Amino acid sequence: MPAVLLVLAVVCVGVWLLLGAPMPGAPEPAAPTWGDPSSGRPATGQPGQGEAARPADAFELVVDHVYDGDTIRATVLSPNDVVPTTDPVRVRLIGIDTPEGTPTVECWADEARAHLSELLPDGSRVWAAVDRDPQDRYGRYLFYLWTDDGVFVNHELVASGDAVAIRVAPNDAHIDLLRAAQRQAERDGLGQWGAC
């Protein structure tokens, strides 16, 4: 019987290692670092290592307006199962939260909005993908966004210290990546972590 348990334990550890899971008690891997730390922001245009790639089923939108650091208005190019209209829709970025600009301007709200406006200027194309729930109770569409050149916008805002990672189940496919980016931004004192 002890031999069977030993073999079972060896097989479990082998499967654990084969799947790439961390061993219990092992330190958590650091968030991907990329860009120029002296600038206070990661470089745009090139995704960081380990960053979520744009999914094959992502669809294009045209940015109409950036409301704040985590909400935009955009128009879908071709109606689809998620957005069945070409009327402008309000889009809330999944998994992040930025300081509020109204009714009172919170610390780093203007900088977060400005950074999102740099990433997604009016008239630019952006790629959107849903998680599980495509809309919230306010009728806003809930998306992960990627720039035309592949930058995962939700991640970029957290990695630069403009946003915090938040989990709003069931839309949490990238929460581990976003939380790791936040921890790195906090350690580096980026954005609101160094100013607020």
pLDDT digits (tens), the chain, 196 positions: 454 444 444 444 343 333 333 444 444 333 333 333 333 333 333 344 457 999 999 999 999 999 999 999 999 999 999 999 999 999 999 999 999 999 999 999 999 999 999 999 999 999 999 999 999 999 999 999 999 999 999 999 999 999 999 999 999 999 999 999 999 999 999 999 999 9
Known catalytic residue at 100: yes
Catalytic residue among 60, 73, 106, 140: 140
d(C-alpha 59, C-alpha 148), whole Å: 11
Q: Which fold has domain 56-195?
A: OB fold (Dihydrolipoamide Acetyltransferase, E2P) (2.40.50)
Catalytic residue among 73, 90, 100, 186: 100
Which token pair is 117? 């406006």
Q: Mark out the alpha helices in the chain (DSSP H runs).
A: 2-18, 109-119, 153-159, 175-188, 192-195
pTM attached to this predicted model: 0.76
pLDDT at position 184 is 98
Catalytic residue among 41, 92, 113, 179: 92
- Encoded amino acid at 124, one letter: S
Known catalytic residue at 140: yes
Backbone angles phi, psi at 43, to 5 degrees: -70, 140
Which token pair is 144? 């992960």
Choose among 3, 20, 129, 8: nearest CA to 76: 129
- SS3 of 37, please? helix
Kind of pairing between the strands at 89-93 and 141-147: parallel
pLDDT at position 143 is 98
pLDDT at position 51 is 77
d(C-alpha 191, C-alpha 186), whole Å: 9
Known catalytic residue at 54: no
pLDDT at position 163 is 98
Residue 60 DSSP class: E
pLDDT at position 55 is 95
Enumerate the domain spans of the chain: 56-195
